[in-house]
Amino acid sequence: MTRCIWVLVFLLMAGTASSQVLDKSRQSSPIDYQQPRQYRIGGINVSGYKFLDPIALTSLTGLKEGDMVTVPGEDISRAIQNLWDQGILGDVDVTARTEGEVIYLTFNLTERPRLSNFRFSGINKTQSDALKDKVPLQKGRIVTDAVLNSTRNAVREYYIDKSYLNAKVNITQRPDSILPNSVVLNIHVDKGNKVKVGDIEIVGNEAFSDKKLQRKLKSTKEKRFYKIFTSSKFNRTKFEEDKEALITFYNSQGYRDAIIVSDSVYRISDDRLGVQITVDEGQRYYYRNITWTGNYLYEDNYLARVLGIEKGDVYDQQELEKRLTYNPAGVDVSALYQNDGYLFSSIEPVEVRVEGDSIDLEMRVTEGPQATIDKIIITGNDKTSDHVILREIRTLPGQKYSRDDLIRTRNELAALGYFDPETIGLNPIPNPAEGTVDIAYSVVERPNDQISLSGGWGGPIGAVGTVGLTLNNFSTRKMLDLSEWRPIPTGDGQRLSLNIQANGKYYQSYSLSFTEPWLGGRKANSLTVSLFKTVYRRPQGGDDFSKLDVNGGAISLGRRLNWPDNYFYMNHSISYNRYTLDDYVLFQNVGDGENFSNGISNSISVVNTIGRSSIDNPTFPRRGSSLTLSLNLTPPYSLLSDRKDDFEYIEFNKWMFDASYFINVAGNLVFNTRAHFGFLGTYSSEAEIGPFERFKLGGAGLGGGNVFVGTEYIGLRGYDDESVVNANETTLLNAGGIAYNKFVFEARQLISPNPAATIYGLAFIEAGNNFGSYKNYNPFKLYRSVGVGARIFMSAFGLLGFDYAWRLDTLPGAAGMDAKRGMFHFIIGQQIR
């Protein structure tokens, strides 16, 4: 028994010793970091990951099982660096276990948190919303140092562009309590004060003064107390553009070698910067000899006259390029070739000699063959039918290419009003091998139907409500196709207009008109049919009213002309108006005291209009002109019979002339000059000019609520509605004048070309007068005003605007108005003519 116990004890002790020996044989061999040794990788493990793929992480190390690595050495270091380079980990360390020649690696990782949300502090909501589109932050993205730095830079750049050069950005992270391994970023912004330009110094200039050169820096201006409307913030990008503009100015003055040697921006104080620009003007150059080579179609002398540069003129490379390739203000040399089909022509000016301050040029002309138009491509017209665009296009397949026709087509498409005139694209696609060219037109449609729901005060008749609907691109052809009602059939360029104005039973006006711009579809012959009805009532006490009922209609036919040129047009119309007066005093006769208050007057007239319009954009014209001469005639009753002035049949001849001219001064600054004349007469010197078709001058030209059919209302800003007329010159009180003239000068600056709301500001000087008799007519006796204003053209509502005018003269009999020289005018739906 005792022997058995001892045997068991021996066996247990032996097993324990054997076990210890086995465990020691499995332990890792020590790694001697003083003696590098090669191992074969027996396995790679990854620990610490939560959302990342361990297999992908292992592959990112660049190591795999079976590879030989040197420990210590660059292999493990390179694997750690590969993981770090991904920017998705916050910490990486490696543990190793060896068994003889085999090594087992474990990469212990700490993942970077992901973004769950971010918010801004220290700034308002508008700025926060703007910054959200600029910072590189997306929910779920791993928050790395690079992301944080990019965010800081984006925020600082945003405020630097707004002249906050001292802006500070502090980003803090807070763990998200809901999403694991996620953080919320708080981006705190301290804008500081705006930093503006306190001083601009230009060094090295001798040809031009500091002040003149500083004016060429359009976006970099000094802060001065008197520069109320001038921005003086510093913007690095704009500053670089201003430096280029400065050199461009020097080049335009003959200093072709002018350079900016250096520039510096330095601190004057916490909120002021100083700017110094050092220039080297170089020498001023002049043209000497200009020769032509390669030209066969036109002689040297003719090309030189078109070029318009004489020997001794200041060398201006920019002006030279404009006169050679495209001169919007006149003829250029390329136009001679381009308008005759020579699309592939080119003119290369080469400086063949520079001697002293003189430059000789050789104009190397390559004429090439004429190009024929092959195909017309139209894109962008989702609503407007192709044929509406094609009938306005002047570059037809089979014709020779013409640049003038291309530009004219753009103007015609803009005049339709269906497309954004600023984005109409013209793209000739030449095919030199075939000698042809395709023309691609691209348009961007804009809403052009107008709905008006408005109310206003109409003087004696009180409040007036207006409901109007104008469909400018209507289609009668599609009316029977229900699928085209979205919500109305459109696309064929027809115009349908309905307008209703009312003030209960005191005033009601209804009008309906329809225009087909291409009657028959083959020529630009327009047909317009219009009908209207207007009722005026005046209370006479109790339930009695005096009443004026006006009914009428008109049919007109217009057509485009090709002579004297294809900018001319002519319009003929016949109209009938019937005026029914029931105890309604239309005017008072001073001579015999009688009033015209009962009866019926008939007006049958023919209107003939001839005009010429070459303006490039109906919303904001930059160049071109518009001339209109209109003659409105009734039958000559006084010559055909012994008629009395009972106004049963109205007799008159009415002449009106309007002229408007636009010139693009610079950029979006446009000058507009206008002149307007109107004359009213009869056929017989014995016949008195009646109260119909007269002129009323003053105000916004909207009639002041006394709108009467058969009267011309002309605006004259700074004066009350209908106030400008010499009443002592006529025997008909309140009837208006029989002759007027008006002159206007406006400077217009485009503020926003957005087709949804085109906005421009204006300053004006205008003068006019209205005369009751021809014996006192004097076109130089004028009432003047000056002022400023703005216009907003909204496609859905038409033209809206206001003017503030200052009256310079006093009307006869209106001396009491001197205290009220300043006056606001509001314009809806039309410009002041």
Q: How far apart are alpha carbons 549 and 259 in whole angstroms?
A: 76
User: Parallel, antiparallel, or unpaired for β 102-111 and 37-47?
Assistant: parallel
List where CATH 3.10.20.310 sits in the chain: 37-111, 114-190, 196-280, 286-366, 372-442
- For the CA atoms of 73, 79, 83, 89, the dihedral, rounded to the nearest 10 degrees, stands at -50
- Give the phi and the psi of residue 616 in degrees, each rounded to 5: -90, -15
Those residues of the chain that have pLDDT short of 70 are: 1-34, 50-51, 86-88, 90-91, 229, 452-464, 587-595, 643-646, 702-709, 726-734, 796-797, 813-819, 829-833
CA–CA separation, 331 and 302 (whole Å):
12
Average pLDDT of every residue of the chain? 85
Q: Is 353:415 a contact under the CB 8 Å cutoff?
A: no
* 8 A C-beta contact, residue 764 and residue 717: yes
Residue 818: DSSP 8-state: T
pLDDT given at position 763: 97
Concatenate the DSSP letters of all residues of 304-326 into one string: HHHHT--TTPBP-HHHHHHHHH-
- C-alpha 422/C-alpha 116 separation (Å) is 43
Q: State pLDDT tens for residues 792-826.
A: 988 766 778 889 999 999 887 655 555 578 999 88
| CATH class assigned to 286-366 | alpha beta
DSSP assignment of 202-237: EES--SS-HHHHHHT-SS-----TT-TT---B--HH
Which residues is 569 bridged to in the sheet?
A: 560, 611
Which CATH fold topology does 196-280 show? Ubiquitin-like (UB roll) (3.10.20)
Q: For 114-190, which CATH superfamily applies?
A: membrane protein fhac (3.10.20.310)
Q: Is domain 37-111 annotated with CATH 3.10.20.310?
A: yes
Per-residue confidence (pLDDT) for residue 457, from 0 to 100: 52
Q: Are strands 259-269 and 494-503 parallel, antiparallel or unpaired?
A: unpaired
Note the pLDDT tens digit of each residue in 453-462. 665 554 455 5
Q: Considering the domain 372-442, what is its CATH architecture?
A: Roll (3.10)
Q: For residue 266, how many other CB atoms are within 10 A of its CB?
A: 9
pLDDT of residue 29: 56
Query: Residue 181's closest CA among 129, 149, 140?
Result: 140
Q: What are phi and psi of 380, to 5 degrees?
A: 100, -10
